[in-house]
Structure 1
Amino acid sequence: MAFFLEVLLGGLLAGVMYALVALGFVLIYRASGVFNFAQGAMLLFAALTYVSLVERGLPGWLALLSTLGVMVLLAVAVERTVLRPLVNRSPLVLFMATLGLAYFLEGAAQALWGAQVHGLDLGIEDTPLEVGDLLLSTFDLFAAAVAAVLVIGLSLLFERTRLGISLRAVADDPLAAQAVGIRLPRIWVLVWAVAGCVGLVAGLLWGARLGVQFSLSLIVLKALPVLIIGGFSSITGAIVGGLLIGASEKLAEVYLGPLIGGGLENWFPYAFALVFLLIRPVGLFGEPTVERV
């Protein structure tokens, strides 16, 4: 029983890391109704900027503030050059625009900071922590605490503030939102800046675990099953989906892997998400689209 709980808790903590990546997708989707394929590139760009500034002698806190400033400037540039010219276009057009933006950001990151792998030390050792009979990762516990703070803050932003209501209004109907006085460019800049900051946090945590390298942008693929299960428009769903994916993949690898062969951890989340997609396409916390004709 202790071994089962250890595997389960380890999977739940790993799922928190997936949920951190999924949060960036949810923010953009809720504000614009488009799937932001560039979120992985933003994660990479933020992490690479931070670690490169630290390696050039900046203190960690100053590098963090500088990177946050860079992500805000990036949000302004995206709104001016990509989103504003495509206002009122179909979600497919906006999705293709984010796809092109992803390749542009990866190329820009390589041109600015180089293509070598960078080690990243956040000062948090990934050592086992004994909790009763269980061994838990100190780093994963720290990541879970960071995710909890982000979820609480973002939930309050969306549900309890006037800005959050504006974000939801823009996602539902951009034309109607503009008609009642909501400034669409300002909303988009803000939500992309927040998504960039979330990407920075996720990039630092994943970079500390895997190293800051260009394959880091592929972490977004782990967020897809999370979004399908939790729902593309729900912050709570991103966390619940991440926990379900993390726990299920670890349990499947440990208990089913010896029976049908290893490697389940790589493909089981997608099979799980596919089955879930057939049962409930909008996800656990997703909101079905209602169209009146």
Structure 2
Amino acid sequence: MSYYDFLFVIEVLVGGLLSGVMYSLVAIGFVLIYKTSGVLNFAQGSMVLFAALTFVSLVERGIPFALSLLITFAVMVALGFTIERTVLRPLVNRSPMTLFMATLGLSYIIEGAAQLIWGTQVHGLDLGIDDTPFEVGGILISSFDLLAAAIAAAMVAGLSAFFYWTRIGLAFRAVADDQFAALAVGLRLPRIWGTVWTAAGFVALVAGLLWGARLGVQFSLSLIVLKALPVLVLGGFDSILGAIVGGLIIGASEKLAEVYLGPFVGGGIEGWFAYALALVVLLVRPSGLFGQKTVERV
């Protein structure tokens, strides 16, 4: 391999890792809710769309950037809290399939509400981030991808620190380990679940702004949830560390597969390679790389 080929491999790898951090950000929204309540929130993608659409619509109506961000944050916090209070709290202790179908229905309701409130047109979202690539040691790196990955990484690090080093985070972990034991020591589960859904709304806001700026604010943005599923399968549905590592692996592997395997299969491998990798992981380790193995008594 020549020096230039080596630089090209590194460039592709770096681009994949930067995308992987963005995938991790979306996946963490799933992990927060699943870890504390056992609910696979399929509405997370619609929450990402709703956040991006609300923000860009406010900006286009002449509201200052900072104020639009603050209003959108308040809207997403209220949305997360309302979902937990009105839909999922009455379904506590129901089967996982019931809870999954509830969030699937919520996904369509949120998308319909976004269409009713803000319309169906596609919006461009400019966060003021220059996308001119720059060179480091012969490697071209997108300025936007680097800054977006830095923001996502800071968000991931902040959530991880919050989860592991604060009293509320300790309560989250206690509920995730054993809800009945958490109740026995006086933890108020409804308050914790409400806080988790509020945090998920905040994650959706950050993810919506970053992905909206990259792809444009359109209704297909809600499908970003599908890119998070292989990350969760690979890393584990109940592991923040798994969401981080899984996102990096998926981002890097799909870029490398597109460049080096795509020519042999006619291209387009980037769109489905992550799912093939997730299927292999399911066959070998169903709980993921960092997920807790389920132990059933017989």
**Alignment partner, residue 37 of structure 2:** 32
1:150 aligned onto 2:150: no
> How far apart are the structure 1 equivalents of 2:108 and 2:239?
27
Deviations 1:60-116 (A, max 9, x none): 111111111111111221122102211222222111111111111000111111111
1:291 deviation in Å? 3.9
Q: Taking structure 1 as the reference length, what is the TM-score of the superposition?
A: 0.96
1:200 aligned onto 2:205: yes
1:106 aligned onto 2:111: yes
**Alignment partner, residue 211 of structure 1:** 216
CA contact (8 A) 1:158 1:164 kept: yes
After superposing on structure 2, the runs of 4+ consecutive aligned residues of structure 1 that deviate more than 2 Å are 168-180, 289-293
> How far apart are the structure 2 equivalents of 1:13 and 1:155?
19
1:169 aligned onto 2:195: no
SS of residue matched to 2:135: strand
CA contact (8 A) 1:151 1:236 kept: no
Aligned residue among 216, 227, 251 for 1:246: 251
> How far apart are the structure 1 equivalents of 2:178 and 2:111?
31
Correspondence list, 1:124-143, <5 A: 124-143=129-148
1:271 aligned onto 2:252: no
> How far apart are the structure 2 equivalents of 1:179 and 1:100?
33
> How far apart are the structure 1 equivalents of 2:155 and 2:34?
17
> How far apart are the structure 2 equivalents of 1:255 and 1:147?
28
Q: 1:89 to 1:179 in 2, by over 3 A?
A: farther
CA contact (8 A) 1:88 1:175 kept: no
1:138 deviation in Å? 0.7
1:212 deviation in Å? 0.4
**Alignment partner, residue 3 of structure 2:** none
Give 5+ residue unaligned stretches, structure 1.
none
> What letter is aligned with 1:43?
V
CA contact (8 A) 2:25 2:156 kept: no
1:125 deviation in Å? 1.7
Identical columns (%):
73
> What letter is aligned with 1:56?
R
> How far apart are the structure 2 equivalents of 1:176 and 1:115?
47
> How far apart are the structure 2 equivalents of 1:290 and 1:156?
28
Further displaced range: 27-36 or 282-291: 282-291
Q: Taking structure 2 as the reference length, what is the TM-score of the superposition?
A: 0.95
SS of residue matched to 1:290: coil
CA contact (8 A) 1:8 1:247 kept: yes
CA contact (8 A) 1:37 1:98 kept: yes
> How far apart are the structure 1 equivalents of 2:171 and 2:98?
23
> How far apart are the structure 2 equivalents of 1:174 and 1:91?
15
Deviations 1:116-158 (A, max 9, x none): 1011000002211110110011111112211221122111121
> How far apart are the structure 1 equivalents of 2:106 and 2:177?
24
**Alignment partner, residue 230 of structure 1:** 235
> What letter is aligned with 1:231?
G
Deviations 1:182-225 (A, max 9, x none): 11221111111111111111111110011101000001111111
> What letter is aligned with 1:88?
N
1:292 deviation in Å? 4.7
May I ask how many residue pairs the two structures share in their alignment?
293
> How far apart are the structure 2 equivalents of 1:215 and 1:225?
18
CA contact (8 A) 1:50 1:67 kept: yes
> How far apart are the structure 2 equivalents of 1:217 and 1:250?
22
CA contact (8 A) 1:33 1:172 kept: no
> How far apart are the structure 2 equivalents of 1:88 and 1:259?
49
> How far apart are the structure 1 equivalents of 2:63 and 2:36?
34
